[in-house]
Copies of this chain bind each other. A is one copy, B any other.
Amino acid sequence: MTKSQSASGGVALWRQIADAIRLDIVGGKLANGDRLPTEALLAERFSANRHTVRRALAVLAEEGVVAAEQGRGTFVKSIRRLTYPIGKRTRFREGLKGQAGSLVSVSISDKIENATARVAEALGLKPGTKVVRTESMSVADGVPISRSTTWLPYRRFPDFAARIKEMQSTTMVFQSYEIADYSRASTRISARHADVEETRSLNLAPGAIVLVSEAVDVDPEGEPLSYALTRFPAERMELVV
């Protein structure tokens, strides 16, 4: 009897198993160097065939999370999740300092467009007002950890795109506009499956989960500075409030 996918909601069993094992690893139940249960035991635990388990392990091996050694077993190779602290004073680079060796932010593209209803509301503008939109992503130790879309009022930051490319840090660009300090007004957090673009740019297995953060930063007078929509791979990042 085949385990039906309809009973599993259209998610292949091998993927469910891979997700479960990956969760045990990034969640800390299995530490670096630990030996996983044997394929036979995992098959029993998930009520699946050994071949199905092997397919899950093959995926994890390709991700570099585990490595199998014939005759010995399969071992954890891995990485823990990064923690991104969110609060009144939220700074991306500061928050991740010390958790990763290298942290590189790349500006992908930018354009000037008219604010949609949502963007306008977040920035306290009238819909249709000119805004700067920049697309960027961040890579920690060679692994992509975020993909952001940021909107700012064009009137105040006509040159934002050029400056962020040069300075790489939002904090520094704001300083170049004479904004010495800024703070987080609100952060909205949700989760969903990664779309095609995110799967590609974040180098995710399709069907992976992204944490979505919608953040509004304001200057000391309470004036909205930026509206950022950031997607984090849930398997690599967690947020702490």
Mark A residues whose CB is within 8 Å of B: 5, 7-12, 14-16, 18-20, 23, 28, 59, 81, 83, 86, 118, 184, 186-193, 195, 199, 205-211, 234, 238-241
Contacts and interface: CB of A to CB of B under 8 A. Distances in A.
B240 A207 contact: no
Contacts of A118: 28
Contacts of A11: 10-12, 15, 193, 206-207
Given A86-B241, A241-B86, A241-B241, A9 B189 contact: no
Nearest to A237: B190
- Helix, strand, loop or mixed for chain A's interface? mixed
Contacts of A5: 12
Copies in the complex: 2
Contacts of A14: 10
A32 to B, nearest CB: 17
B23 A241 contact: no
Contacts of A187: 240-241
Contact of A193 (B86, B188, B209): B209
Q: What are the 4 closest A-B residue pairs judged by CB atoms, nearest first? A: A10-B15, A9-B206, A191-B191, A10-B12
A173 to B, nearest CB: 23
Nearest to A18: B10
Contacts of A210: 191
A238 B15 contact: no
A218 to B, nearest CB: 14
Contact of A189 (B12, B23, B189, B199): B189
A23 B184 CA distance: 26
Contact of A192 (B7, B184, B195, B234): B234
Given A19-B192, A19-B193, A7 B206 contact: yes
